[in-house]
Amino acid sequence: MTFGFFDDEHKEYVITRPDTPLPWINYLGCQAYFGIISNTAGGYSFYRDARLRRITRYRYNNVPFDLGGRYIYLRDDESGQFWSPSWQPTRHDLENYTCRHGMGYTIIGSRYRGIEAHTNYFVPLDENLEIWQLTITNQRSKRAALSVFSSIEFCLWDAQDDATNFQRNFSIGQVEVEDGVIYHKTEYRERRNHFAYFTCSGKVETFDTQREVFVGPYRGWERPVGVERGRLANSVAHGWAPIGAQHVKLELEPGETQQIIFVLGYHENPQNQKFDPPESQTLNKKSVKPVIAKYLDSTHVNRAFEKLRQYWARLLGICQVETPDVHTDRMVNIWNAYQCMATFNMSRSASFYESGIGRGLGFRDSNQDLLGFVHMVPARARERILDLAATQLPTGGAYHQYQPLTKRGNNDVGGNFNDDPHWLILGVAAYLKETGDWSILDEPVPYDNHPGSEQPLYEHLERSFKYTLDRLGPHGLLLIGRADWDDCLNLNCFSDTPGQSFQTTTNKDGKVAESVFIAGLFVLAGRELADIAQRRGLAEEAKDYLAQVAKMEATIRQHGWDGEWFLRAYDDFGRKIGSKECREGKIFIETQGFCVLAGVGLDDGLAGQSMDSVNKYLATQHGIILQQPAYSKYYLELGEISSYPRGYKENAGIFCHNNPWVMIAETRVGNGDRAHDYYSRINPSAREPISDLHRCEPYVYAQMIAGRDAPTYGEAKNSWLTGTAAWNYYAITQWILGIRTSYDGLQISPVIPKSWRGFKATRIFRGVTYHIVVERAGEGNQVALRVDGVPIKGDIVPLPGDARREVLVQATLS
């Protein structure tokens, strides 16, 4: 069953009924001002940081889940009937409801009793505001007299405090209303220099800024008393719950269309120019007024929307493919790339599953996200890398998270996730291969943001590597610390106290438990670092790194191989995890995927065996399960992984993030059929026909699909903000389609299904547009290349030595 359809031409997913199984959302904004918007206009907005600078309020654990948002009400002033054109919150039976989620915008609309209304929600580039462009058409045969009401609820900035500290917060809310503009200025009188505003292009008849006055006692958003009455009370909030609600009247002849533009924005004043006049307590509106005036004008709004479209067309145009599979094309060309930009912007902070008040930007997560977006916004990737590296500790270890507003490491969570530092090496390598910008390695970057501690970025990479070398365990593998990629494999935690964090509780000294996964990661990161060192002219260092890598590979073979697959870890008692000897958790996906993609076991058959074991024990129709058999009880020595019911999350869920590791691993053993088959099993577009089971958005990946041990097998959860986005994008574009960035040029090395006769692609790489045509002449993966008609050796297309900016690459597979 479906709830809509893909409109590929417009790069939109069109939802055709509002009661989707879960809120199906989109993101507004891609620079500093952001919003989450659901298919019923729910969600919230913030400036840079979803926790510290929240603009509108969201209530956690809401019923329904998706309540509170950017709500517009229409009221027929003759009958007094009112409804929401976005369905929520009044939930009337609408005709022709559609929600078009597009690239950076969402258009929601419907018809009700002959009145058609659509709202285009978007954030203009380079502005800290969002626009709701409402278009209303009277399709009745009679003139219509309507009232339009808007509503948003302000958050008192720090969303965590806002949700809990009522004894203070009920007394601090402050607004100003001037010329129809509602200014929210809570705490501006003291230490803040920012405020929010809400305004509209129509003539404001009445307004409200106090929630209780607008909705009325014992009422909610579905039946505000002000809307019912057809007139607001011009309330000015002092304390309690400041909102913005406006009332505009419209008279529409039959067939007539009118537009109203609403603008919700965020603005900062210089500290010494906060008030006007300076000795007053009145907001200085001098610098915000021109911005407001500009965006209440539809010419500017239309232009801004067009610029946004061009922005996305440019970003997505960098890599476009045409394959025999529509789901591959749609995800690569549109949605997967778009999701990679969302994970870049949000990391794991704000979605309907990530509260925005929990995690900031993850060190591991953000480094991996680079794989998916570096080609689209290389300059911002550079900045992100330097920000991340600046939170690294002098030991080479890393804070697990940092806050985007302050760019400081998060002390509550701290560090000691021993895989973390390695991801920096992989992120930097991806950046270098894409851009060729070696200057980044010489950038001075501090440790733990301490002024004076700056060292070239390259040294940060060296310290990352050394961090693990200083932490070898009894088998010569790597000590795991608090956890590795699997945040829930907490081998030093031993927590028996309810409420303790599995990630930050450590009851063991951590000198025994080892991770085979980090060993695989070490091999990959070590190779990348050696390559970088070599190209920096540090041949001796490079040799040394490779020697360490070879040693680690041998150790993995000796202590990390279980006979048919790679082990997962050793626990604090030195016992195996992920072994045939275990009763539960005999085989894990992470080490199979990661060791093989790192190249371990390619020359002695272990890789192929590991892949066959994945296929036999872990692969299901809904994707590859994280581990089997699922843990049926809590194991003190394993931690959070065994806290989840069977089939969910890390306890044998289909954790989509590491499925692409296996896809890449399959390409490394040359199995394009399996690689693409695995790709398709979790491809959200391919799963669209089972939307009633899958339940999450069919246009983006979710972190998890419930595994076969779960009663809800096949149900996805936690969509949008997941490493799944970057890794799937990387797996399909760079390994299956095989258009791979390298230091020496663009490598073309597809490992595609045997049944594919070929595919086409366009890839802009270091300023050159490569038109790539791949054709199958035989069943294998052997590549022969012709560049602008001339055969070349090997599979790397060097950058043109001349002024050519367009290059034709013909690849024949045999």
Which residues are designated catalytic?
Answer: 487
348 vs 576, beta carbon nearer ligand NOJ: 348
Say whether residue 568 binds ligand NOJ (CB under 6 A).
no
The rounded distance, in Å, linking the Cα atoms of 316 and 27 is: 16
Residue 244 contacts residue 232 (beta carbons within 8 Å): no
12 vs 640, beta carbon nearer ligand BGC: 640
- Tell me the three state secondary structure of residue 138: strand
Residue 70 contacts residue 152 (beta carbons within 8 Å): yes
153 vs 650, beta carbon nearer ligand BGC: 650
Shortest separation between residue 503's beta carbon and ligand BGC, angstroms: 5
Q: Which of 76, 369, 462, 486 binds ligand NOJ (CB under 6 A)?
A: 486
- Beta strand pairing call for 95-101 and 105-112: antiparallel
700 vs 785, beta carbon nearer ligand BGC: 700
397's CB contacts (< 8 A; 6+ apart) are 415, 416, 418, 420, 421, 467
The rounded distance, in Å, linking the Cα atoms of 196 and 133 is: 19
559: partner contacted, choices ligand BGC, ligand NOJ, none (Cβ within 5-8 A by kind) = none
Dig out the tokens for 266 from the structure.
């965020």
CA angle 218, 219, 222 (to 5 degrees): 165
Q: Contact letters (x/-) for ligand BGC, 607-646, by CB under 6 A?
A: ---------------------------------x------
Q: Which residues pair with 621 in a beta bridge?
A: none
Cis peptide before 124 (omega within 30 of 0): no
Say whether residue 650 binds ligand BGC (CB under 6 A).
yes
Q: Among residues 653, 560, 660, which one has the least CA distance to residue 600?
A: 560
The rounded distance, in Å, linking the Cα atoms of 565 and 578 is: 9
Shortest separation between residue 658's beta carbon and ligand BGC, angstroms: 12
Q: Among residues 414, 614, 585, which one has the least CA distance to residue 489?
A: 585
Q: For ligand NOJ, which stretch binds (CB under 6 A), given 19-27, 50-58, 124-132, 361-369?
A: 361-369
485: partner contacted, choices ligand NOJ, ligand BGC, none (Cβ within 5-8 A by kind) = ligand NOJ
Binding positions for ligand NOJ, 644-663, rule CB under 6 A: 650
623 vs 672, beta carbon nearer ligand BGC: 623
With CB under 6 A, what is the number of residues at the site for ligand BGC? 6
The rounded distance, in Å, linking the Cα atoms of 349 and 160 is: 13
The rounded distance, in Å, linking the Cα atoms of 572 and 585 is: 16
Q: Which of 348, 471, 586, 646 binds ligand NOJ (CB under 6 A)?
A: 348
503: partner contacted, choices ligand BGC, ligand NOJ, none (Cβ within 5-8 A by kind) = ligand BGC
Q: For residue 1, how many other CB atoms are within 10 A of its CB?
A: 10
Region of 91 on the Ramachandran plot (φ > 0 left; ψ -120 to 50 alpha; else beta): left
Q: Which of 487, 514, 571, 795 binds ligand NOJ (CB under 6 A)?
A: 487
CA angle 137, 141, 142 (to 5 degrees): 85
Shortest separation between residue 707's beta carbon and ligand BGC, angstroms: 14
Say whether residue 585 binds ligand NOJ (CB under 6 A).
no
CA angle 63, 66, 72 (to 5 degrees): 115
Q: Which residue is nearest to ligand NOJ (CB)?
A: 487
414: partner contacted, choices ligand NOJ, ligand BGC, none (Cβ within 5-8 A by kind) = none
Residue 157 contacts residue 53 (beta carbons within 8 Å): yes
Shortest separation between residue 365's beta carbon and ligand BGC, angstroms: 9
Q: For ligand NOJ, which stretch binds (CB under 6 A), given 62-70, 155-163, 482-490, 727-735?
A: 482-490
Binding positions for ligand BGC, 455-514, rule CB under 6 A: 487-488, 503
Residue 77 contacts residue 146 (beta carbons within 8 Å): yes
Shortest separation between residue 120's beta carbon and ligand BGC, angstroms: 35
371: partner contacted, choices ligand NOJ, ligand BGC, none (Cβ within 5-8 A by kind) = none
Q: How many residues does the chain have?
A: 814
24 vs 644, beta carbon nearer ligand BGC: 644
Q: Which of 69, 89, 362, 750 binds ligand NOJ (CB under 6 A)?
A: 362
The rounded distance, in Å, linking the Cα atoms of 541 and 529 is: 9
Q: Which residues pair with 177 in a beta bridge?
A: 182
Shortest separation between residue 516's beta carbon and ligand NOJ, angstroms: 16
Q: Which of 375, 433, 463, 649 binds ligand BGC (CB under 6 A)?
A: 649
The rounded distance, in Å, linking the Cα atoms of 366 and 356 is: 16
Q: What number of H helices and E strands is found in the chain?
A: 20, 43
Shortest separation between residue 317's beta carbon and ligand NOJ, angstroms: 30
Say whether residue 488 binds ligand NOJ (CB under 6 A).
yes
CA distances from 312 to 717, 725, 768 (A): 27, 17, 19
Shortest separation between residue 761's beta carbon and ligand BGC, angstroms: 33
Q: Among residues 304, 340, 347, which one has the least CA distance to residue 132?
A: 304
378 vs 723, beta carbon nearer ligand NOJ: 723
Q: Among residues 514, 618, 508, which one has the least CA distance to residue 559?
A: 514
String of DSSP letters for 328-395: HHHIIIIIHHHHHHHHHHHTTSBSSSSBSSS--EEHHHHHHHHHHHTTT-HHHHHHHHHHHHHTB-TT
Shortest separation between residue 589's beta carbon and ligand NOJ, angstroms: 11
Shortest separation between residue 486's beta carbon and ligand NOJ, angstroms: 5
Residue 81 contacts residue 113 (beta carbons within 8 Å): yes
Shortest separation between residue 723's beta carbon and ligand NOJ, angstroms: 6
- Tell me the three state secondary structure of residue 391: coil
The rounded distance, in Å, linking the Cα atoms of 367 and 344 is: 9
Say whether residue 590 binds ligand NOJ (CB under 6 A).
no
- Tell me the three state secondary structure of residue 487: coil
Say whether residue 364 binds ligand NOJ (CB under 6 A).
yes
Matching residue, tokens 């917060």: 169
66: partner contacted, choices ligand BGC, ligand NOJ, none (Cβ within 5-8 A by kind) = none
Say whether residue 365 binds ligand NOJ (CB under 6 A).
yes
Residues in contact with ligand BGC by CB under 6 A are 487-488, 503, 640, 649-650
Instruction: Give the residues lining the site for ligand NOJ (CB under 6 A).
Output: 348, 362, 364-365, 485-488, 650
